[in-house]
Structure 1
Amino acid sequence: MATTSNSFPLPSGAAPSTTASRPETVRRAVLAAMCLFLLFWLGYFIDKTWHWSLVNDAPQLSYLIFLMKHGMKPYRDIIEMNMPGTYLVHFAVLGMLGWSDLAWRVFDVLLIGVIGTAMVVIAWPYSRAAGIFSAVLFALFHGRDGMGETGERDLVIAALLLVAYACLFQVLRHGRAWPMLFVGFCAGYAATIKPIPLPMALLLVAVGVLAFRREARSIWSPLLFGLAGLAIAFAIVGGFLVHEGVLGLFLREEHEMLPFYAHLGDFDPHWMLMNSSTSSFRTLAVLALVLTMAMRCWRSWEERLLLTGIAFGIFSYFYQQKGTPYHRYPMIAFTLLWCGIVFFQALRQRGWMRWVAVGAVGYGVVLAPLYARTAAKRPWSQDYEEGLTRDLNALGGAGLSGHVQCLATSAECDTVLYRMKLMQATGLAYDYFVFNRRPGPVVTESQQRFWSQLEQNPPRAIVVTVGLYPSDRFGYDKLSLWPAFADYLGAHYRLYADRQFPMFEQRAIAYRLYVRKD
């Protein structure tokens, strides 16, 4: 397959040069210095954040693995909506790297390394510097979001899809069918973490097959490789569900609980739009769009595929309706990759396009130290975890294992139990399944399952946390959304501690700790 039929255009009236003139030598030296500058700030970011603690979703999801390792079954005993691909990622990290804070930091760095490598492979025919530019900016953009976004599910999805893209581009550029195995596997596994990437997985396999058809070659080899990759990804997850004996429960619960969860958010679209990116990111995207229109490089297969990746990222962010920083990562990753390729292609153009590209690349280079320093200095309060740890230790510490219950949406309570290695009394993971202003079958069934487990094993201590959406927006009044439980709590428990903590990450957080009266 001819590379030029699939890739971005060369500069107008130009052809690749086999010898380097003096201006070209200077250009290469400048680009090399730029890459070294960017890599320095990437190293600075990693060094200054190596101590990051395990906070937010990572310990909360790892706590579910802790529950599974102590006998609880997903989709049967554990009341929550995550897909099995997420569990297997956490099983792998905990099994290979351990249960420490450092293990998850290593995993996060490995993820941005995989994303960066895929970007460099994709951008390689256009400019090696373009891949490094995009990869470093993405890593630092992720870093500026803070330690609460490390190893997130959408970051894993972004890594898997970019690897799938890198393999697909090898198919388009070199006409080899075997990389389709990895296209199917990576994109397919992304769909086992969240179902949103499933259409993308099918599309990428179809593109690889169509590329062979355009060249009048047999489509069977890329088709079979692509389908085999998909089958392997789904077989791994299916094998886990069969091994746990919960395949039927998974199919039923994901049909009901996942759609319910997907539409919990009711954020204003304008608010979500304003929080979808930063002004610096939007500036880079607008400059890339101007240059793309001027160079007319949207006609190539590869540019169209990158634009499709950006469209997927935008759809994924808005479809999830939560507005959290990590939901942006597929969109941010594909957009920055596209920006890098466009900018460095425009550097080879003449006239105003070259100067716009120089300004855009210079702007990105300036952003790198700003992002890195923001990441290094961004705090994450752990006052809640420290306070609850002291209270639980005062009530018996390890003796509470199996006799304590978190009622929270936010991760802090589960993080404390994870660090103290305390089993919960029940398998309720997120309290919006039992405290919800929009009652329905999912809420009713979740309440029944939780109540049944509660009666079988009444906890000695219950921690009610507020401070994060969606159920916690009502404060402690969320208990009134389930009057029967509120009455039970008042009849059998007394307030032991009422703690409030300063606002951080744009939210205030607090908990009330109740102990049984007997």
Structure 2
Amino acid sequence: MVIDSDWSFPQRAREAGQATFPGLLICAIVVAAAWLRYVLPLNVDVSWWLLVGERMLDGQRLYVDILETNPPMAGSVYLLAVALARAIHLRPELATNILIFVLTAASLTLVWLVLRTSALRHRLADGRLAGWTTALLLIAPMYDFGQREHLALITILPAIAVYILRARRERVAPAAMLIAGLSAGLTMSFKPYFAFSVGFCILAAAAQARDWRVLFALENWIAAALVLINAACIYLFFPEYFTVIYPLVRDVYLLLKAPVPTILVTLPMGLWLAAAVIILILQRTQHERDAASFTTLAASLGFLVSFVAQQKGWGYHAYPMVALALLAAGLAVSAIDASRDARRWPRVATALAGAVLFVQTCFWFNGSVDVQQIEAQVARLGPRPSMLVLSAAAVIGHPMVRTLDGTWISRQEAFWVREIVRRSQQDGTIDSQTAQRLAPYVERERAGIIADFRRQPPDVVLIDNQNSDWGDWARSDPEIRALLAPYVLVQTVDGVEILKRG
């Protein structure tokens, strides 16, 4: 008996190591992700939405006192983070990061609860797949951590888990249907474009299961009901979204777009295609199609359509499609049956390819504009400055104003209305007659600048002459020129004039 115990000790140690490996790996990834939140700058839009949350809690009205083009759901997480920060006396930035980490853990826990009784449970227990998923959610976003697309990916994962069960023709518990419906409904409430991902996921599940009834599953009705309830709440509590914001978005904001051919040759498209090729190659070595990887890839394809449909080409718009494609590739790797295929090269090759794609993904989503020189000059002018930035580039003022504990006096994140109309007329997108029709929007933005300026004259004014002609515009306008009369030019950094009230 003693000899048997000695002989079994290495086996028990190996099993104990395998049991603790997933937890240690995930802990290491979470620590690395937390360190990145410390060293990387706060995302420009996250900074703005925290400011919006603070103003709303102070009594200002969204779409009336605050100009924002996104639906209310887009700011819900940030509003919750600001409320949490005030309750426990934390900085909102830290509260936001904590909340997103908690939401990520909750989402992955729901995925586990949905799939733990399925035939996929042994793959989910693999520490490598768990670590890969955690890294894609917490590290890959880099500078875009906390963006709405990042939040949408976190919320949609439980729905994808249920659609994987549908694709495999496995039983779905009523609780899982409710989870999936809420998950899909919340995701689509962030942006209407995200309906492509949910829709493609449903279609892929129905096609793989060869069962049209999947199209009418209970979770789909729950998701649709939640979207309708959300729309009704916007109409009741935020009617200005339809009367003020929607016309502005329709007539002006949608003019801001990049050519589709240009979007199709960006790095995210290459990353997505590379991940799709990996999945297809691995599937050729398997005896049956892996429903998990193909359903996840379908959800990723929906986000790809969303990326192209928005026609901006902005980095963070591509995050869900890239992260889900890489997750689908990870699922395809986990589907390899080592007992049937003893070859090591598919796993080694895909591991190396995945590492390369992950590094490229991190580099892409770490793109930000460095305004440290401007921030340093503003900091020398005095503590906690109130600021106004005449620019369409939001990255100049955010997150600088939060970093300096300053006050943002404008109702907008940046002054993009005049800039979009000007550039659209310049490049021939619109003619002079259309520009004249859009003039009331431009005038309303100008009136807002003047009203905010008079209500609370800023300590510091930044004028962007690098990206546009804001200096000439301000000096040619009699009212704005008069408001700027008490200010003196301190310095010009990278084409941005820094003015201080004299």
Q: Which letter maps to 2:192? A: P
Match of 1:493 in 2: 484
CA distance in 2, matches of 1:361, 1:307: 18
1:280-307 deviation line (CA, Å, top 9, x unaligned): x865553332112343644x65444222
Residue among 278, 288, 292 paired with 2:283: 292
- Write the distance in 2 (CA, Å) between the matches of 1:382 and 1:463: 16
Secondary structure at the counterpart of residue 394 of structure 2: coil
Q: Which residue of 1 aligns with 2:417?
A: 433
Alignment of 1:180 with 2:187, yes or no, is: no
Q: CA deviation at 1:185?
A: 2.2
Q: Distance in 1 between matches of 2:59 and 2:463?
A: 26
Q: Give the Å deviation of 1:328.
A: 2.3
Query: Is 1:511 paired with 2:496?
Result: yes
Letter in 1 for 2:284: M
- Number of residue-to-residue matches in the alignment: 466
> Counterpart amino acid of 1:451?
R
1:159 CA displacement: 1.0
2:76 aligned with 1:88: yes
Q: Report deviation, 1:261.
A: 3.1
Residues 1:195 and 2:192 aligned together? yes
Residue 261 of structure 1 is matched in structure 2 by 253
Matches within 5 A, 1:136-147: 136-139=134-137, 141-142=139-140, 145=142
Q: How far is the alpha carbon of 1:79 from its aligned partner?
A: 2.7
Matches within 5 A, 1:88-237: 88-98=76-86, 99-114=91-106, 116-117=108-109, 124=121, 126-129=123-126, 131-139=129-137, 141-142=139-140, 145=142, 148-170=143-165, 172-201=169-198, 214=211, 222-223=217-218, 226-232=220-226, 234-236=228-230
Counterpart contact for 1:267–1:321, Cα < 8 Å: yes
Cα RMSD of the aligned pairs, angstroms, is 4.7
Given that residues 46 and 146 in structure 2 are in contact (C-alpha distance below 8 angstroms), is that contact kept between their aligned partners in structure 1?
yes
The answer to whether the 8 A contact 1:425-1:454 is kept is: no
Give 2:469's aligned residue: 477
1:417-436 Cα shifts (integer Å, max 9, x gaps): 44566655442322121223
Render the CA deviation track for 1:193-246: whole Å, top value 9, x for unaligned: 2110124445667888999994989x98x43x5434443455356436633xx3
Q: How far, CA to CA, are the matches of 2:34 and 2:294 in structure 1?
A: 37
Q: d(CA) in 2 for partners of 1:368 and 1:27? A: 29
In 1, distance between residues paired with 2:262 and 2:210?
Answer: 43
Q: Which residue of 2 aligns with 1:58?
A: 46
Cα deviations across residues 461-514 of structure 1 (Å, max 9, x unaligned)? 463454xxxxx8x6242555x68965544454246345566xxxxxxx663234
- Distance in 2, matches of 1:348 and 1:26, equals 22
Are the equivalent residues in 1 in contact too, given 2:196–2:303 (CA < 8 A)? no
Instruction: Please state if 1:445 is matched with 2:440.
Output: yes
From the superposition, tell whether residues 115 and 356 of structure 1 become closer, same or farther in structure 2 (CA, over 3 Å).
farther
What does residue range 296-445 of structure 1 map to in structure 2 within 5 Å?
297-298=288-289, 301-348=291-338, 350-351=340-341, 354-361=344-351, 364=354, 382-391=372-381, 393=383, 397=384, 400=386, 404=388, 407-418=391-402, 424-436=408-420, 437-438=423-424, 440=435, 444-445=439-440
- Counterparts of 2:251 and 2:17, CA distance in 1: 51
Aligned-pair distance for 1:138?
Answer: 0.9
Q: Single out whichever of 191-200 and 421-430 deviates more from structure 2.
A: 421-430
Distance in 2 (alpha carbons) for counterparts of 1:383 and 1:365: 34
Cα distance 1:125–1:190, how it changes in 2: closer, same or farther (>3 A)?
A: same
State which drifts further: 363-372 or 133-142: 363-372
In the alignment, the residues of structure 1 paired with residue 351 and residue 403 of structure 2 have an alpha-carbon distance, to the nearest angstrom, of 44
Give the direction of change, closer, same or farther, for the CA distance of 1:415–1:309 in structure 2 (3 Å limit): same
Distance 2:498 2:17 in 1: 60
% identity of equivalent residues: 17
Shift of 1:381: 6.2
Select 1:45's aligned residue among 7, 10, 32: 32
Give the superposition deviation at 1:387. Answer: 3.1
Q: Distance in 2 between matches of 1:140 and 1:408?
A: 30
CA contact (8 A) 1:498 1:513 kept: yes
SS in 2 for 1:174: coil
Query: What secondary structure sits across from 2:496 in the alignment?
Result: strand
Q: 2: distance between equivalents of 1:57 and 1:499?
A: 27
Provide the C-alpha distance between the structure 1 equivalents of 2:287 and 2:360, rounded to a whole number of angstroms: 32
CA contact (8 A) 1:346 1:354 kept: no
1:457 to 1:277, Cα distance in 2 relative to 1, 3 A: closer
Question: Offset at 1:103?
Answer: 1.4
Change in 2 beyond 3 A, CA 1:354/1:50:
same
Residues 231 and 303 of structure 1, relative CA distance in 2, 3 Å threshold: same
Distance 2:323 2:13 in 1: 30
Structure 1 SS opposite 2:82 = helix
CA distance in 2, matches of 1:420, 1:106: 22
Question: Could you give the per-residue CA deviations for residues 5-34 of structure 1, whole angstroms, max 9, x where no partner exists?
Answer: xxxxxxxxxxxxxxxxxxx99997897687
Using the TM superposition, name which of 266-275 and 303-312 deviates more: 266-275
Greater RCO, 1 or 2 (C-alpha within 8 Å, sep 6+) = 1
Question: CA shift at 1:257, angstroms?
Answer: 0.6
Distance 1:316 1:337, change over 3 A: same
Deviation at residue 152 of structure 1 after TM alignment: 0.8
In structure 1, the gaps of 5 or more residues are 1-23, 467-471, 502-508
Indicate the SS of the match to 1:74.
Answer: coil
Contact 2:293 2:331 (8 Å CA) reproduced: no
Contact 2:388–2:408, Cα closer than 8 Å, also in 1: yes
- Per-residue deviation at 1:158? 0.8
Measured in 1, the distance between the counterparts of 2:288 and 2:103 equals 30
Give 1:71 shift: 4.2
Q: Which moved more, 1:182-191 or 1:259-268?
A: 259-268
Distance 1:408 1:208 in 2: 43
The residue type equivalent to 2:316 in the other structure is: Y
| Structure 2 residue aligned with 1:7 | none
Of the structure 1 ranges 424-433 and 185-194, higher mean CA displacement relative to structure 2 is found in: 424-433
Local SS of the residue matching 2:66:
coil
Structure 1: distance between partners of 2:210 and 2:262: 43
Q: Is the 8 A contact 2:103 2:154 kept in 1?
A: yes
After superposing the two structures, state which structure 1 stretch, 175-184 or 200-209, moved more: 200-209
CA, structure 1 residues 454+478, in 2 after alignment: closer, same or farther (shift >3 Å)? Answer: closer
